[in-house]
Amino acid sequence: MKTKLSTNLRAIWARSYVRIVGANREFSWVFFEIFLPLLNVSAYVFVYRALGAPKEYEGFVIIGGAMLAYWLNVLWSMASQFYWEKEMGNLELYLIAPISRVALLLGMALGGIFMSSVRAVSILIMGVFLFGVQFQIASWWSLIGTFVLTMVALYGLGMLLSSLFMLLGREGWHLTMVLQEPIYRASGFYFPVKFLGMATALSASLVPLTLGMDAMRQLCFEAAAGTGVMPVHWELAALAALAILFLGLSVKSLEYLEHLGRKSGRLTMKWQ
């Protein structure tokens, strides 16, 4: 048991190490990951200024632009990962390795969180200095807890989608591109999602970032309480439920994936 745990921990570190080192090895990537997304954030900030919107809306945009990094990482470095590994011929190695498939995805998630955090923190810092956004943190512990719960639920969703997208093959890759833009709007990355209507907001809450961003905005800006979908403690409870749901489903989906591979022997080959 101790040996198996040690092997899985080493696998987690191995998969995260690649992303941690890769995030800093090519400095041109760091530049494009930070400054190009800032252009999109800046556009929304200037639109709000032109419309004479309250100052906290600029802060909403900064938080949304920072959290967008995690959504893109989940789509492209988590949900699509097994599909790309299959295309490159590495999936066979993962399936025969004496480790848990959950450990592989957990390592990808931890490394991905580090990569995305570099971009997210940079956008937050530049948002404060370039646009003069002032945060009024109601509770640091609540804010940190909200962020952690959001990441657990979000990357649990990514682990679930990784199995689904691999089974779908190229259609899963197409689904990744289809989901990208609609989630930007439905989850309220650049505006309070409550303004889309309560039904739309609750439907979009299946993506953990929707509730996570809404709660963090309420904790960061006093005036944001009136724009929230629901009180923060309710959103935290919902995030905890989503985290348990997605992590549980991801484990089941990985077990099904492994069972299907042993039964059909065709997961690592193109379907005839």
Q: What is the pLDDT of residues 180-202, one digit of tens each?
A: 777 777 888 888 888 888 888 88
pLDDT score of 270 more than 50: no
User: Whole-structure pTM over 0.75, yes or no?
Assistant: yes
pLDDT bin (cut points 50, 70, 90) of residue 240 is very high
Residue 154 makes CB contacts below 8 A (sequence gap 6+) with 70, 71, 74, 207, 208, 209, 212
**Residue 269 counted as domain residue:** no
Residue 140 makes CB contacts below 8 A (sequence gap 6+) with none
pLDDT bin (cut points 50, 70, 90) of residue 56 is confident
**Residue 271 counted as domain residue:** no
Q: Can you give the pLDDT at residue 238?
A: 92
pLDDT bin (cut points 50, 70, 90) of residue 239 is very high
Q: Can you give the pLDDT at residue 2?
A: 55
| Over residues 91-98, mean pLDDT | 74
CA–CA–CA angle 107, 10, 148 (5° rounding): 35
**Residue 223 counted as domain residue:** yes
Number of domains forming the structure of the chain: 1
CA 236 to CA 213: how far, in whole Å? 11
Residues in the chain: 272
CA–CA–CA angle 77, 81, 82 (5° rounding): 165
**Residue 68 counted as domain residue:** yes
Specify the 3-state DSSP secondary structure of 69. helix
* Alpha-helical segments (H) within the chain: 2-25, 27-51, 56-73, 81-88, 91-96, 101-131, 140-168, 170-186, 198-204, 208-220, 232-264
* Parent domain of 192: 2-264
**Residue 270 counted as domain residue:** no
CA 98 to CA 80: how far, in whole Å? 23
**Residue 272 counted as domain residue:** no
Give the residue from 151, 153, 110, 91 showing the smallest Cα distance to 14.
110
**Residue 231 counted as domain residue:** yes
Least confident of 74-78, 109-113, 235-239, 245-249: 74-78
pLDDT bin (cut points 50, 70, 90) of residue 105 is confident
CA 265 to CA 87: how far, in whole Å? 16
Residue pointed to by tokens 């309420």: 218
Q: How far is CA 46 from the centre of its chain?
A: 26
**Residue 225 counted as domain residue:** yes
Q: Can you give the pLDDT at residue 261?
A: 64
